[in-house]
Amino acid sequence: MATYDKAWSDTTGKPTARTEFFQTAGISLELEEFITEFVRSPEILDTLSPQKQREIENQMDAVLALFC
């Protein structure tokens, strides 16, 4: 199994599991759970309050900004 430090340059191998990838990408456990459920059932987005939708969007924006 690969091990990862906090810096991208300190990786010792490729992620071997989805959870490991999420950790290296800086995705929180809460966001990971949402992404997993959303992939299975996209309609859950409609069940979230507008505030919760904004929180999720902000977390996703922060993660995506790491790749720019």
Q: Is residue 1 part of a domain?
A: no
Does the structure show a pLDDT above 70 at 8?
no
Q: Is residue 18 part of a domain?
A: yes
Residues 20-54 have pLDDT tens digits of 777 777 788 888 888 889 999 999 988 999 999 99
DSSP state at residue 16: -
Global pTM value: 0.58
- Distance, CA of 23 to CA of 4 (rounded, Å): 9
Look at 61 and 8; give whichever has higher pLDDT: 61
Q: Is residue 2 part of a domain?
A: no
What's the pLDDT at 25? 75
Q: Is residue 3 part of a domain?
A: no
Tally of domains within the chain: 1
- Distance, CA of 4 to CA of 44 (rounded, Å): 32
Query: What domain range includes position 19?
Result: 8-65
Instruction: Report which of 9, 31, 13, 11 is spatially closest to residue 22, judged by C-alpha positions.
Output: 31
Q: Is residue 31 part of a domain?
A: yes
- Distance, CA of 60 to CA of 32 (rounded, Å): 10
